[in-house]
Chain A
Amino acid sequence: MLRGRSLSVTSLSGLPQWQVEELPVEELLLFEVAWEVTNKVGGIYTVIQTKAKTTADEWGDNYFLIGPYFEHNMKTQVEQCEPVNDAVRRAVDAMNKHGCQVHFGRWLIEGSPYVVLFDIGYSAWNLDRWKGDLWEACSVGIPYHDREANDMLIFGSLTAWFLKEVTDHVDGKHVIAQFHEWQAGIGLILSRARKLPIATIFTTHATLLGRYLCAANIDFYNHLDKFNIDKEAGERQIYHRYCMERASVHCAHVFTTVSEITAIEAEHMLKRKPDVVTPNGLNVKKFSAVHEFQNLHAMYKARIQDFVRGHFYGHLDFDLEKTLFLFIAGRYEFSNKGADIFLESLSRLNFLLRMHKSEVTVVVFFIMPAKTNNFNVETLKGQAVRKQLWDIAHSVKEKFGKKLYDALLRGEIPDMYNILDRDDITIMKRAIFSTQRQSLPPVTTHNMIDDSTDPILSTIRRIGLFNNRTDRVKVILHPEFLSSTSPLLPMDYEEFVRGCHLGVFPSYYEPWGYTPAECTVMGIPSVTTNLSGFGCFMQEHVADPTAYGIYIVDRRFRSPDDSCNQLTQFLYGFCKQSRRQRIIQRNRTERLSDLLDWRYLGRYYQHARHLTLSRAFPDKFHVELTSPPTTEGFKYPRPSSVPPSPSGSQASSPQSSDVEDEVEDERYDEEEEAERDRLNIKSPFSLSRVPHGKKKLHGEYKN
Chain B
Amino acid sequence: MTDQAFVTLTTNDAYAKGTLVLGSSLKQHWTTRRLVMLDTLQVSDSMRSVLETVFDEVIMVDVFDSGNFAHLTLMKRPELGVMLAKLHYTLVLANTDDLFEREELSAAPDPGWPDCFNSVVIYQPSVETYNQLLSLASEQGSFYGGDQGILNTFFSSWVTADIRKHLPFIYNLSWISIYLYFPAFKVFGASAKVVCFLGRNIFTISILPLLQQYGLVKYTCSYVNVENVSGAISHLSIGEIPAVGQPVHSEDWKEWWEQGQADYVEADSFDNLKRKLDTYLQ
What's the least CB distance linking A197 to chain B, in Å? 12
A195 engages B256 (CB within 8 Å):
no
Residues of B within 8 A of A192 (CB): 277, 280-281
**B262 proximity list for chain A (CB < 8 A):** 141, 234, 239-240
A246-254, A257-265, A342-350 - interface stretch:
A246-254
CB proximity of A179 to chain B, nearest CB, Å: 15
**Closest A residue, CB atoms, query B271:** A230
On whether the beta carbons of B260 and A145 are closer than 8 Å, the reply is yes
Let me know if A603 is at the binding interface, CB within 8 A: no
What is the CA–CA distance of A144 and B268 in the complex, to the nearest angstrom?
Answer: 18
Contacting residues, chain A, for B251 (C-beta < 8 A): 135
Verify if A487 is at the interface (C-beta below 8 Å from B): no
Which residues of A128-187 have CB atoms within 8 Å of chain B's CB atoms?
131-132, 135, 138-145
- A143 to B, closest residue via Cβ: B260
Q: Which residues of chain A are near B154, meaning CB under 8 Å? A: none
Residue numbers in B under 8 Å from A140 (CB-CB):
257, 273
Is the CB of B258 closer than 8 A to any CB of chain A?
Answer: yes
A143 pairs with B259, CB closer than 8 A: yes
Residue pair B265, A231 in contact (C-beta under 8 Å): yes
Do A230 and B269 contact each other (CB < 8 Å), given the known contacts A138-B277, A239-B262? yes
Complex formed: what's the CA distance from A242 to B273 in Å?
12
For chain B, which range describes its interface: under 10, 10 to 19, 20 to 34, or 35 or more residues?
A: 20 to 34
How many interface residues does A have (CB within 8 Å)? 29
Q: Which chain A residue shows the least CB distance to B262?
A: A239
- Interface residues as binary, B242-279 with A (CB distance below 8 Å gives 1, 0 otherwise): 00000001010111111110101100111011101100
Q: Are A234 and B273 in contact (CB under 8 A)?
A: no
Shortest distance between the CB of B5 and any CB in chain A (Å) = 36
CB of A233 within 8 Å of the partner chain: yes
Chain A residues with CB under 8 Å of B256's CB are: 141
A698 smallest CB distance to B (angstroms): 42
B249 / chain A contacts, CB cutoff of 8 Å: 135, 139
Residue of A131, A142, A239 with most partner-chain B CB within 10 A: A239
Q: State whether B254 touches A131 (Cβ < 8 A).
A: yes
Contacts of B265 in A (CB 8 A): 230-231, 234
Output the residue of A233, A234, A246 with the most chain B CB within 10 A.
A234
Chain B contacts of A145 at CB under 8 A? 260
Inter-subunit contact B270/A143 (CB<8 Å)? no
B267 closest partner in A (C-beta): A139
Q: Assuming A141-B262, A143-B257, A234-B264, is B273 touching A243 (CB within 8 A)?
A: yes
Would you call B277 and A243 a contact (CB within 8 A)? no
Across the interface, do B258 and A139 meet the contact criterion of CB distance under 8 Å?
A: no
Residues of the B chain whose Cβ atoms lie less than 8 Å from the Cβ of A131: 254, 258
Please tell me if A237 contacts chain B, counting CB pairs below 8 Å. Answer: yes
Q: How far is the CA of A246 from the CA of B274 in the complex (A)?
A: 9
In the complex, chain B residues whose CB is within 8 Å of the CB of A233: 264
Decide yes or no whether A448 CB sits under 8 A from chain B. no
- Indicate if A193 sits at the interface (CB-CB under 8 A): yes
Which of B249, B251, B274 has the largest number of chain A CB atoms within 10 A?
B274
Q: Which residue of B lies closest to A193 (CB)?
A: B280
| B254 and A237 contact, CB distance less than 8 A | no
Apart from A139-B253, A239-B262, A239-B268, what 4 extra A-B contacts exist at CB < 8 Å?
Answer: A132-B254, A135-B251, A239-B264, A251-B281
25 A-B interface contacts by CB (under 8 A) = A132-B254, A135-B249, A138-B276, A138-B277, A139-B253, A139-B268, A139-B272, A139-B276, A141-B253, A141-B254, A141-B257, A142-B257, A143-B259, A189-B277, A192-B277, A192-B281, A229-B270, A233-B264, A239-B264, A240-B262, A242-B270, A243-B270, A246-B270, A247-B273, A251-B281
What are the 3 closest A-B residue pairs judged by CB atoms, nearest first? A141-B257, A234-B264, A143-B260
